[in-house]
Amino acid sequence: MKRWINFGLKNRLLMLVLAIVVMITGYMSYQKLPIDAFPDVSPNLVQVFTTTEGLAPEEIEKYVTFPVETAMNGLPGIQKIRSVSNFGLSVVNIYFEDSMDLYFARQLVGERLLEAREQIPEGFGEPELGPIATGMGLVLFYYLEDSTGMRSLTELRSIQDWIIKFQLQNVPGVTEVLGIGGYEKQFHVVINPHALLQYHVTLPQVIEKIKANNLNVGAQFIEKNSEEYIVRSIGLATSIEDISNIVINSEKGTPVYLKDLAEIEIGGAVRRGIQTRNGVGEVVAGMVVKLFGTNSSTVISAVEQSLDRLNKSLPEGLKIVPYYEQKSLVAACVQTVTNALLQGILLVVFVLFVFMGGIRPGLVVTLSIPFSVLFALTGMHLFGISANLMSFGGLAIAIGIMVDGTIVLIENIDRILKEPTKSESRIHEISRACVEVAKPVMFAITIIIVVFLPLLTLQGVEGKTFKPLAFTIALSMLGSLLFAILIAPAMSYFLMKEPDSKEKSNEVWIIRKIQEPYKKLVQFFIFKRIYAVLLAVVFIIVGIVVFPGLGSEFTPELQEGTLILRLAMAPSISLNKSKQLTMIVEKKLMRIKEISGVVSRIGRGEVGAHADPINSAEMYILLKPKNNWRVKSQKELKELIRKDLGETPGILTSFTQPIAMTIDELLEGIKADLAIKLFGDDLELLKQTADKIAAVVQTVNGAKDIQVDQIAGTPQLQIKINRQAIAKYGINVADAQSIIQSAIGGEIVGQVFEDIRRFDILVRFKQKFRDNKEDIEGLLVDGPNGLKIPLSQLASIEEITGPRQITRENNQRFITIQCNVSGRDIGSFVEETQRVINQKIKLPIGYFTTWGGQFRLQQEANKRFAIVIPLTIGLVFFLLFLHFNSVKNALLILLNIPLALVGGVVALWITGQNLSVPSSVGFIALFGIALGNGMVLVVYLNHLLREGFSMTQASIRGAVLRLKPVLMTALTTALGLIPLLFSAGTGSEVQRPLATVVVGGLISSTILTLLVIPAIYKWFAINVEKEVVSVD
């Protein structure tokens, strides 16, 4: 240690250069840091989407999902596969270990997808990888505003798909632009089946003819006069007229045109999602997806620039209006932490100058802040941690702590320099002062770093959220250690001077003011040690009394600044009805004073981001500026809106926020305490068994909110082909099915090209011939020799209720039974439930259950903590022991922990906050800081004892002399956190419990350090005589 300090002092200039280099590197790293709002907590997953228009969940599962899933089995680093087969859409989520590189994982999935493609029947869709993005990737949503009101939704959608989308996709960092709303333009050939009969043509013939009359070919070239002419035959249909005039048949020399059989018109594709706005009508919208790993803020501003350009080039009266931008959230978060950081620095600096009583020492200590921060930034850049609420929050928290080491050091230098010993050279004095305290400083800082280790073992969302914070704190502590040991001595040599002899022992007035009463107080406790013990006991009792009064939550909700009202409607609902209901709610919302607009998405648009069915709507609530609100916070506003909105029949509403919602979806998190997953093959049997299990769980004491997944609920019109009937008429199943498919659902038979824009041609029966069960029964199936048989003769047509979606995990269908537990401990509840279920329910063969839910997560976290925390304490104890070479001293310092806890608990109680993960993080930080403070004092007490002071003398003198550094480090730490405590900015709700705990704990532990430790030191003191003997 001594060597290091002397090295630093000797090479003072080098140290200065080093400091400047570190700071410049830090600044440059900062420029390069990706800036996000929050740490990205999305799971590491690759999504595979397959759209197959018109297919029911059962078919999607069988033909699409299953082949994709099986192809993915056995990939390296795979965690689990989960899939959802919806109407017309299959989504397979392949979750990988967090350590897997996303691009590598995508490559693996892509390779296997080739295999899967072969297994999927022709025409059942092409599986595609989702965008290269995470849950934080949806950075900007916009809609198209047409002030002329003249343009049709089809026209607007074409502008979105063919102009805006292309331009935005070119912006660097944008991986995908997904359109939704309006109608995708199609050319509809609406066939009148009676005309088919009358003109003696069949539907397959019509389809074939359209296909055969819509193409261009190339025919190489011809030579003419030494020149080559490329031969090209143009036969593509480019307009309604071209399609209308396709000749289908010719009767006695008279051509039968397509227009004789059908109406050809421009229409919209079948849609599974729309956007509405303000309860007024539909809009066309788009969402910009950011590439994984790019810098949110730069991507968003590039997109914005591009939007500006686009707005200028769009037709008159048309405007792109962004209605959600993650940028504002990023900006708000950065602002919150930057504010906290700056205010914290100001407060800390203020304290420093007041207590140091001089500009020079204050300056050296102050310099440790930029140094440590920039050092941490360099580290963040190296480890690939983005700048966000949590990582910067870590810096804000550490502001007050990172000066502590230097404070102790500089205070000692200051004190020794002020000592009237003239014989020593200044450099020697500084060296001596440094060496005196360097060891405890180093140990104190190391202990702070060590106590953050358990945080690094956190898993899942909490882990991803809080690890950056732990990392940056640890990094900045390391920076402050470097500064204190290497740079501060050098700095102090340049900046600090020996005081004029006149002002010797001239202590700062504030310390003088405190010192006197403090001395009396500490004397009282030292002489009546039992009172000190009593004080500590009272503290602990208060803590124990208050503790049960605290509520608990996992992690407080981050307020993203954007509210989403989520609507869940009946699963059987039609898109039109769903639109109607959504617009009713929109109208209601628009009446609320604070709301300036509402943009809702119903169902899903282009695949890639959402897979919601049409019974769900997400309403983005656009708010007026805060000064127009009746309430202060977003949370209160939410309640207000909930109240004003009231109940809406047939709709379940819940509030959420954009990022939280997306990530929840990706995690497919279960919020209940206990989730029993029942795996099995038969949907009906699954449902029945799950209901039985639920009934049994109900009987267990403590069970609450029992819920079984609703897997059914979508009405189906099931057409079952009767094989005997079709055999009688000599008809194939495929003949019947192709009529069913193209007549009812429609068939894409080609494309119309308008320059490079291409639009599908859809052949379908006129609506009145396919609208209800009777009509469908009357559809004529062509048999051999002009035979025509109505479908009702060939198939049974039934209305049934089918599954609304089929969810699978690890290649098996499952259903979830969820419940909460109240009034008893979960462990015993789970045990009892398992026993009862085993007794009462016999699962069908091949069926099995898995038990999970929040309780599992907590159990795992507890198990980990049960190992890691004692380990950490052991390690801390070991470090303390290493430093003091005394078990007693180490124990004395560990005594800080319960007393620090009390302060934190009481502070939470007073401010009405809950125990949560961030408050736990606060407790952890608190231990480190409290231990450090205790160390500084105990080291000095030992020092005095060794110098030959009596126990009582040493206790009093040590306490009084150490009052200043102890108070200063505590004050700087606490004041550094004050801005976080009072901040109301975005993201502050996560930082606040943490700051509260640290500030509260610091108060109680400082009281302990200053009053109790000197008093009870006697019982924990080192044995000086023995030591002297053994050392010598």
Please give the residues from 893 up to 912 whose contact with another protein meets the rule CB under 8 A. Answer: 894-895, 897-898, 901
Using the rule CB under 8 A, is 255 a contact of another protein? Answer: no
With b for 16 or more beta-carbon neighbours within 10 A and e for fewer, the 653-669 pattern comes to bebbbbbbbbbebbbee
16-35 positions binding another protein, by CB under 8 A: none
Q: CA 630, 633, 638 angle in degrees (round to 5)?
A: 80
Q: Binding residue for another protein (CB under 8 A) from 568, 640, 694, 1024? A: 568
Q: What is the 8-class DSSP label of residue 35?
A: B
Using the rule CB under 8 A, is 664 a contact of another protein? Answer: yes
Distances (CA, A) of 948 to 135, 223, 942: 65, 114, 10
Q: Binding residue for another protein (CB under 8 A) from 162, 629, 729, 847? A: 729
Using the rule CB under 8 A, is 615 a contact of another protein? Answer: yes
What's the token pair of residue 116? 């899967």
Q: How far apart are CA 57 and CA 443, in angstroms?
A: 62
Give the residue with the Cβ less far from another protein, 453 or 568: 568
Q: Which of 470, 148, 437, 444 lies closest to 318 in space, CA to CA?
A: 148
Q: How far is the CB of 1010 from another protein (least distance, A)?
A: 21
Using the rule CB under 8 A, is 722 a contact of another protein? Answer: no
Report CA 103 to chain centroid distance, whole Å.
20
Q: Binding residue for another protein (CB under 8 A) from 709, 735, 747, 989? A: 709
Give the residue with the Cβ less far from another protein, 639 or 754: 639
Using the rule CB under 8 A, is 42 a contact of another protein? Answer: no
Q: What are the residues whose beta carbons fall under 8 Å from the beta carbon of 615, sequence distance 6 or more?
A: 568, 569, 570, 571, 572, 573, 578
Q: Which of 980, 893, 877 lies closest to 930 in space, CA to CA?
A: 893
Q: How far is the CB of 432 from another protein (least distance, A)?
A: 33
Q: Binding residue for another protein (CB under 8 A) from 97, 241, 691, 705? A: 705
Using the rule CB under 8 A, is 780 a contact of another protein? Answer: yes
Q: How far is the CB of 923 from another protein (least distance, A)?
A: 7
Q: How far is the CB of 668 from another protein (least distance, A)?
A: 6
Q: Binding residue for another protein (CB under 8 A) from 807, 955, 969, 983? A: 807
Using the rule CB under 8 A, is 715 a contact of another protein? Answer: yes
Give the residue with the Cβ less far from another protein, 52 or 388: 52
Give the residue with the Cβ less far from another protein, 508 or 1024: 1024
Q: What are the residues whose beta carbons fall under 8 Å from the beta carbon of 947, sequence distance 6 or more?
A: none
Q: How far apart are CA 109 and CA 130, in angstroms?
A: 11
Using the rule CB under 8 A, is 86 a contact of another protein? Answer: yes
Give the residue with the Cβ less far from another protein, 615 or 942: 615
Q: How far apart are CA 680 and CA 682, in angstroms?
A: 6
Give the residue with the Cβ less far from another protein, 255 or 874: 874
Cβ of 488: how many Cβ atoms within 10 Å?
32
Q: What are the residues whose beta carbons fall under 8 Å from the beta carbon of 691, sequence distance 6 or more?
A: 708
Using the rule CB under 8 A, is 90 a contact of another protein? Answer: no
Q: What is the 8-class DSSP label of residue 134?
A: -
Q: List beta partners, residue 138.
A: 289
Query: Interface with another protein by CB under 8 A: which range of 222-230, 270-278, 756-764, 777-785?
Result: 777-785
Q: How far apart are CA 396 and CA 340, in angstroms?
A: 6
Using the rule CB under 8 A, is 129 a contact of another protein? Answer: no
Using the rule CB under 8 A, is 654 a contact of another protein? Answer: yes
What's the token pair of residue 229? 């002419």
Q: How far is the CB of 569 from another protein (least distance, A)?
A: 6
847-876 positions binding another protein, by CB under 8 A: 854, 858, 861-862, 865-866, 869-870, 873-874
Give the residue with the Cβ less far from another protein, 74 or 786: 786
908-967 positions binding another protein, by CB under 8 A: 914-917, 919-920, 923
Using the rule CB under 8 A, is 569 a contact of another protein? Answer: yes
- C-alpha neighbours within 13 Å on the C-beta side of residue 376: 30
Q: Binding residue for another protein (CB under 8 A) from 330, 377, 390, 581? A: 581
Q: How far apart are CA 954 and CA 940, in angstroms?
A: 9
Query: Interface with another protein by CB under 8 A: which range of 70-78, 776-784, 947-955, 979-987?
Result: 776-784
C-beta of residue 285 within 8 angstroms of C-beta of residue 142: yes
Cβ of 636: how many Cβ atoms within 10 Å?
12
Q: Binding residue for another protein (CB under 8 A) from 99, 505, 724, 772? A: 772
Please measure the distance between the N-terminal and C-terminal CA atoms of the chain and give it in whole angstroms. Answer: 21
Using the rule CB under 8 A, is 109 a contact of another protein? Answer: no
170-199 positions binding another protein, by CB under 8 A: 192, 194-195, 197-198
Give the residue with the Cβ less far from another protein, 209 or 804: 804
Q: Binding residue for another protein (CB under 8 A) from 800, 841, 882, 910? A: 800
299-338 positions binding another protein, by CB under 8 A: none
Using the rule CB under 8 A, is 665 a contact of another protein? Answer: yes
Using the rule CB under 8 A, is 91 a contact of another protein? Answer: yes
Beta strands 848-852 and 89-96: pairing type? unpaired
Using the rule CB under 8 A, is 671 a contact of another protein? Answer: yes
- DSSP-assigned states of every residue in 676-722: EEEE-S-HHHHHHHHHHHHHHHHHSTTEEEEEE---EEEEEEEEEE-
506-565 positions binding another protein, by CB under 8 A: 547, 551-554
Look at residue 915 and give its three-state secondary structure: strand
Count the site residues for another protein by CB under 8 A. 93
Give the residue with the Cβ less far from another protein, 268 or 279: 279
Using the rule CB under 8 A, is 799 a contact of another protein? Answer: yes
Query: Interface with another protein by CB under 8 A: which range of 143-151, 485-493, 781-789, 999-1007?
Result: 781-789
Q: How far apart are CA 133 and CA 662, in angstroms?
A: 12
Query: Interface with another protein by CB under 8 A: which range of 96-104, 361-369, 574-582, 1010-1018?
Result: 574-582
SS3 content of the chain, % helix, strand, coil (to 5): 55, 20, 25
Using the rule CB under 8 A, is 584 a contact of another protein? Answer: yes
Q: How far apart are CA 1032 and CA 928, in angstroms?
A: 34
Q: How far apart are CA 484 and CA 671, in angstroms?
A: 46
Q: What are the residues whose beta carbons fall under 8 Å from the beta carbon of 437, sequence distance 6 or more?
A: 408, 409, 412, 936, 939
